[in-house]
Every structure is written in structure tokens, then in C-alpha cells.
């Protein structure tokens, strides 16, 4: 008969090895679970943020006949949400299927923009449009066409000498150049409603109060045009400090339009919001 003597130190070593093995197994499982969750999150994000197949845009409606119907004209059917429907089912396209055609895609199907496009501006219409055309053509004087480019600092003395010269320039970024608050500095406030509903093609008058005979700049950040046919204009306040500008919701303008106003001789800014709807034969497109 044989006897095997196992020392206590050998038993302790065996126990430590078993514990290490179990710990390694738990770490491996945790790593696998973490990698699986990361892969699932990445797949979910890709499915959520990927562009629709073919680069389809929900704001455009493709005009094309249903497959297999050779007798139907391309202007008699539309695809709405992936389903072919007679164009008579879509009142907006009945109204604008000719006027709102904005192009032809690669397959030859026409694309209809229900909101219309931005009006074309001819440089000879007025001096302000001519200056904007020049800035685009030369790539200089970007302050004439972009609210993200600050113009030169306001010079009060130069303005007093020739207010018309200052008013005649269009610089959308002037809405960021209000005066510092002070005891003798008026605060720019709205005169009348700051939120209005209107239809595309209609006009509204926006008014603010500032110091008498002060300049006020109105800039739209969502299309539309003022009297100069541009989305920004500088007006001169009257003797009571009232400055106004007429805003028109031109073609292409829809939903919420934000207009910001500021005066270099008054503190603060004033924002107007205009909710523009596109008229239909039986209501408005919301």
C-alpha cells in the first residue's frame, strides 16, 4: 500500500491557481459582453443615422408613372412615400406641377419642390444687390453677404455726417453690433407683435423703438426679403425712434423664419419669428 503526502503549502498553491483560473474566466466573459454591446450600439447608430437608399430627400416628390403602366404620362403620377399615386391626389402638385419644377434627376424623372425656389436677383436692380453680386464674384467684402462676418466698428461721427451712406450699405452682421448698456443708452424694444403667421407671398411690417434718428439693421436668417429684395436691410428711425422694415415671404420661404434686429445706438437685440405657410387649394402646408 502506498501513501501520498500532500503538504499544506502545496494545497495553498493549488487553491491560488484555481482562483486565478476563475478570475481569468470572469474577465474573459466581461470583455466578450462589452464587445458585444459595443457592436450592437454601433449597428444601431448606423441604422439610425444612415442616409436613405439612393439619397432620397423627404422634401422632394418624384414625378413618375407606376411600373408597367406605359400609357400613363410622367406628369400624371407621383411617388409619395414610395407609393405611386395619381397627381390629382396631391393638390399642391396640381397647382404647381409646372411652375415648381426645379430639375430632372438622372433617371429622367422630374423633381417637384413644393415650396418653390429662391427668386433670382439681377445685379442692375439696385445698388445693394449690385454690391452683393460683386462680393460673390470677387470673393471679397464678405460682410456684405454673410451675417457671420462682422463689419467695421460703428463710427458715430461718420454716421452723423452722412447717415444715408451708412443706411445704403447692406451688412447683415450689423445685428451683432448693439451698444453697451448704460444710463443714457436706450434699450431696443419691439413695437407690435414679435410672432406672426403669414402665407408665402405676403408681407408684414416689423417695427422697433430705438434712439431717434438711429440706424437699425433687420436680418433674416431663413430666407425672405425686405424692400431691397435682400434678406437684410438697415433702416433709419424717425424722430420718435421708430424704425420699420417690410418683410416679404418670397418663394422658397416656409415654416419658421427668424429675423434679428439691432441698433448701434441702443442696447440689446430684438427677435421676430414669422410662421410662413404655403397656400394650397384646400388649406396650407404645415
* Residues 57 and 30 occupy one common structural domain: no
CA angle 160, 163, 168 (to 5 degrees): 155
Residues 6+ apart with CB under 8 A from 72: 65, 66
Question: Is the separation of the CB atoms in 149 and 238 below 8 Å?
Answer: no
In a domain, 281, yes or no: yes
Q: Could you tell me if residue 100 is inside a domain? A: yes
Q: How far apart are CA 207 and CA 186, in angstroms?
A: 16
Instruction: Determine which of 6-10, 25-29, 218-222, 233-237 has the lowest per-residue pLDDT on average.
Output: 6-10
Claim to verify: residue 89 and residue 149 sit in the same structural domain: no
d(CA 199, CA 54): 33
Average pLDDT score over residue span 104-130: 74
Domain-located, residue 118: no
CATH number at residue 205: 2.60.40.10
Query: Is 122 within 8 Å of 230 (Cβ atoms)?
Result: no
Residue 6 lies in a domain: no
The total number of residues written for the chain in this structure: 286
**Domain count of the chain?**
3
Helices (H), 149-269: 156-161, 163-168
Is 120 inside a domain boundary?
A: no
Same domain, 269 and 157: yes
Average pLDDT of every residue of the chain? 78
Q: What is the domain range of residue 85?
A: 53-112
Q: Looking at residue 123, what is its pLDDT?
A: 87
Q: Looking at the structure, do residues 106 and 174 belong to the same domain, yes or no?
A: no
Identify the pLDDT of residue 282: 36
Average pLDDT over residues 74-93: 63
Task: Please tell me whether residues 174 and 145 are part of one structural domain.
Answer: yes
Decide if 4 is inside a domain: no
Quick one: 37 and 62 in the same domain? no
**Residues 174 and 229 placed together within one structural domain of the fold:** yes
Judgement on whether residues 76 and 200 belong to the same structural domain of the protein:
no
**Residue 23 resides in a domain:** yes
> Which pLDDT belongs to residue 228?
95
Lowest-pLDDT choice from 30-44, 90-104, 155-169, 221-235: 90-104
Pick the closest to residue 221 from 172, 169, 177, 149 (CA basis).
172
Same domain, 42 and 66: no
Which residues are CB-contacts of 35 (< 8 A; sequence separation ≥ 6)?
none
Same domain, 83 and 155: no
Beta strand segments in the chain, E:
61-63, 77-80, 83-86, 101-104, 110-112, 189-190, 195-199, 203-209, 215-220, 232-236, 242-248, 255-262, 269-280, 283-285
Residues 172, 225 share a domain: yes
Pairing relation of β-strands 269-280 and 195-199? Answer: parallel
Out of 112, 137, 159, a domain closes at: 112
pTM: 0.62
For residues 89 and 208, state if they share a domain: no
Amino acid at each position: 500500500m502506498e501513501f501520498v503526502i500532500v503538504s499544506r503549502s502545496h494545497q495553498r498553491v493549488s487553491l491560488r491557481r484555481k482562483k486565478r483560473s476563475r478570475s481569468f474566466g470572469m474577465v474573459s466573459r466581461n470583455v466578450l459582453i462589452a464587445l458585444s454591446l459595443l457592436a450592437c450600439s454601433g449597428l444601431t447608430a448606423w441604422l439610425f443615422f444612415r442616409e436613405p437608399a439612393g439619397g432620397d430627400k423627404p422634401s422632394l416628390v418624384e414625378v413618375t408613372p407606376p411600373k408597367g403602366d406605359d400609357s400613363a404620362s410622367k406628369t400624371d403620377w407621383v411617388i409619395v412615400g414610395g407609393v405611386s399615386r395619381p397627381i390629382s391626389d396631391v393638390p399642391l402638385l396640381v397647382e404647381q406641377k409646372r411652375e415648381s419644377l426645379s430639375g430632372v434627376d438622372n433617371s429622367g424623372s422630374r423633381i417637384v419642390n413644393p415650396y418653390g425656389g429662391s427668386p433670382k436677383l439681377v445685379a442692375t436692380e439696385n445698388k445693394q444687390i449690385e454690391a452683393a453680386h460683386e462680393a460673390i464674384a470677387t470673393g471679397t467684402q464678405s460682410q456684405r453677404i454673410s451675417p457671420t462676418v462682422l463689419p467695421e466698428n460703428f463710427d458715430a461721427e461718420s454716421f452723423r455726417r452722412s447717415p444715408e451712406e451708412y443706411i445704403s450699405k447692406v451688412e447683415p452682421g450689423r445685428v451683432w453690433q448693439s451698444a453697451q448698456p448704460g444710463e443714457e443708452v436706450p434699450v431696443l424694444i419691439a413695437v407690435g407683435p414679435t410672432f406672426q403667421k403669414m402665407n408665402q407671398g405676403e408681407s408684414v411690417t416689423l417695427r422697433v423703438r430705438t434712439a431717434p434718428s438711429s440706424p437699425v439693421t433687420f436680418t433674416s436668417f431663413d430666407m425672405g426679403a425686405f424692400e431691397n429684395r435682400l434678406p437684410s436691410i438697415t433702416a433709419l428711425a424717425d424722430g420718435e425712434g421708430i424704425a420699420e422694415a417690410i418683410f416679404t415671404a418670397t418663394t422658397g420661404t416656409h415654416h419658421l423664419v427668424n429675423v434679428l434686429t439691432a441698433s448701434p445706438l441702443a442696447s440689446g437685440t430684438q427677435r421676430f419669428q414669422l410662421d410662413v405657410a404655403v397656400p394650397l387649394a384646400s388649406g396650407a402646408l404645415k
